[in-house]
Amino acid sequence: MRRWFTAILACALSLALIAGCSAPPEAESPGQTSGPSSSQPAGQTGGQSGETQPRREVQGVTDTTVKVGGFAAQSGPVAPIGISVRKGFEAYIKHVNDQGGVHGRKIEIVNIIDDQFDGSKALTAAKQLVESDQVFALAPILGTAGFMASYDYFVEKRIPVIYPMTGVEQTAHPPQENIFAVQPNNYDEAKILTQYLVDELGLKKIAVLWQNSDMGEQGLKGVKDYIGELGAELVYDAPHDAGSVDFTTPVLNLKQKGAEGVVIMTTLAETIGIVKEMHKQGVTAVPITSYVNADPVNVPALAGEAAIGLYAGGWVPVADPDDPNIQKFWEIYGRYNNGELPDAYGTAGFIAAELLVKGLEDAGRDLTYESFIQALENLKDWSGIMARNLTYGPGERAGVKAFYLNKVIEQDGNIVMVQVNQEPYRLR
């Protein structure tokens, strides 16, 4: 049960976050779109975090309600992801509302629009939510394609965006005052993985095998930007396309370059192919990979003994079914979803709702954009029911910059993935 929870969380989020990558459309000029209405008390947002911005009027807030909304696929091939995200988000909001809401206000989910995991439809949805539905904040926001297509609009309109469910660097770099990331972005993740190889395992010659995608490119950038500070050396890197199956040449090259550690920034099938080829060629370099591959079921099953020694990051700890928080999560989710057990996508939606509610609670009754953003910026290592160790601040929008490390080992005749650190591992 414990390993099952980690597996579905890692795998499911990897699908939701990496699939459907697309470039953002050209940003519209301010004159092309209408801004939020000005019918509520004044607040403040806008620009990169830490900048002083003019106070502006708040929308979507009355004495008894606060409006929120987002987009997530509810039809098409990605619908199972979006539907579960919606269920998790709605479950926690309904739970809070049934307890009286926040400071006397019920949270009204105006709409979770079906963008079919399509960037252009997501941008249209974002405009509807901000300009027509007049939401106070945007959540849930599912997927790389939708986030990137809407990114310039989010920045321009300055409406709070809570937990965009994607690993791209733009969720936190550069920090935008209104965008609050939760899960690690691929840039910071690669830095943490490299630091673990160098500081904890004593390895100095590092290689990177990376997918030709946002994930891989940003991971490689993280390693390059940080390797010198660590006192280590990047001896080799090589890209590959999604779906690649032949890793003979890059593995041979990293072996010839004397790599001692290998940062693997790609998805599950390619990671399996890489570790199998390393095993075949007798490569002794230590492989470490993204949290999207922290899969204790499929990694041992698909790679077998070739996976032994592989490290994988994880931004949540292994779930203990005896943990009161886990039990509470399952109870709340099931109460509003006909007794269903949550999957990983539902977990992500639930976490987005937790963070939104925490911001509303700490902002106080006098809810403005300024008070809401300051409330989130004041969070230091905060954990909710399922949210874990979130920290923000002026100029800091990466909520999680720490990892639990998992390792594939042989134990009692079985190949298993186990968690190797009990406390989150952080950047220096």
* CA-derived radius of gyration, the chain: 21
Quickly tell me which residue has 């550690």 as its tokens: 261
| CA 342 vs CA 94, 329, 338, 388, 424: distances in Å | 16, 9, 11, 17, 24
Domain match, 204 and 297 both: yes
Give me the phi and psi of 309, to 5 degrees please: 95, -10
Confidence of residue 55 (pLDDT cuts 50, 70, 90): low
Is 28 inside any structural domain?
no
Amino acid type, 351:
I
Is 166 inside any structural domain?
yes
Is 76 inside any structural domain?
yes
Q: Is the per-residue pLDDT at 201 higher than 90?
A: yes
Q: Is the per-residue pLDDT at 37 higher than 60?
A: no
- Mean pLDDT in residue range 119-125: 98
Domain match, 418 and 276 both: yes
Q: Is the per-residue pLDDT at 12 higher than 70?
A: no
- Our separate counts of H helices and E strands in the chain read 12, 16
Is 125 inside any structural domain?
yes
CB within 8 A of 415, min separation 6: which ones? 300, 304, 305, 307, 308, 408, 409
Domain match, 178 and 194 both: no
Is 148 inside any structural domain?
yes
* pLDDT number for residue 5: 46
Quickly tell me which residue has 């994880």 as its tokens: 314
Domain match, 362 and 377 both: yes
Query: What's the domain count of the chain?
Result: 2
pLDDT, tens digit (0-9, with 9 covering 90-100), for 293-315: 988 888 999 999 999 999 999 88
* 175, 225 Cβ separation under 8 angstroms: no
* pLDDT number for residue 345: 84
Confidence of residue 339 (pLDDT cuts 50, 70, 90): very high
* pLDDT number for residue 86: 98
Provide the whole-model pTM: 0.79
Instruction: Give the mean pLDDT of the chain.
Output: 89
More confident residue, 247 or 36: 247
Domain match, 156 and 206 both: no
Is 152 inside any structural domain?
yes
**Full domain range(s) for residue 168:** 2-22+46-184+322-397
Q: Is the per-residue pLDDT at 412 higher than 50?
A: yes
Domain match, 247 and 293 both: yes
Domain match, 191 and 329 both: no
Of 373, 368, 370, the closest CA to residue 356 belongs to 373
Domain match, 201 and 170 both: no
Domain match, 180 and 190 both: no
Q: Is the per-residue pLDDT at 44 higher than 50?
A: no
Report the alpha-carbon distance of residue 206 to residue 157 in Å, rounded. 42
Biggest alpha carbon distance in the chain? 67
Report the alpha-carbon distance of residue 381 to residue 348 in Å, rounded. 18
Domain match, 133 and 246 both: no
pLDDT, tens digit (0-9, with 9 covering 90-100), for 369-406: 999 999 999 999 999 999 989 999 999 999 998 888 99
* pLDDT number for residue 424: 84
* pLDDT number for residue 321: 83
pLDDT, tens digit (0-9, with 9 covering 90-100), for 89-117: 999 999 999 999 999 999 999 999 999 99
Domain match, 209 and 301 both: yes
More confident residue, 65 or 52: 65
Confidence of residue 423 (pLDDT cuts 50, 70, 90): confident
* 45, 161 Cβ separation under 8 angstroms: no
Confidence of residue 47 (pLDDT cuts 50, 70, 90): very low
Burial 165-204 (b: 16+ CB within 10 A, else e): bbbbbbbbbebbbbbbbbbbbbbbbbbbbbbbbbeeeebe
pLDDT, tens digit (0-9, with 9 covering 90-100), for 139-194: 999 998 999 999 999 999 999 999 999 989 999 999 999 999 998 899 999 999 99
Q: Domain holding 326: CATH number?
A: 3.40.50.2300
List the single range of 36-40, 65-69, 218-222, 271-275 with lowest mean pLDDT.
36-40
Domain match, 147 and 253 both: no
Report the alpha-carbon distance of residue 167 to residue 186 in Å, rounded. 6
Is 32 inside any structural domain?
no
Report the alpha-carbon distance of residue 306 to residue 273 in Å, rounded. 10
Is 162 inside any structural domain?
yes
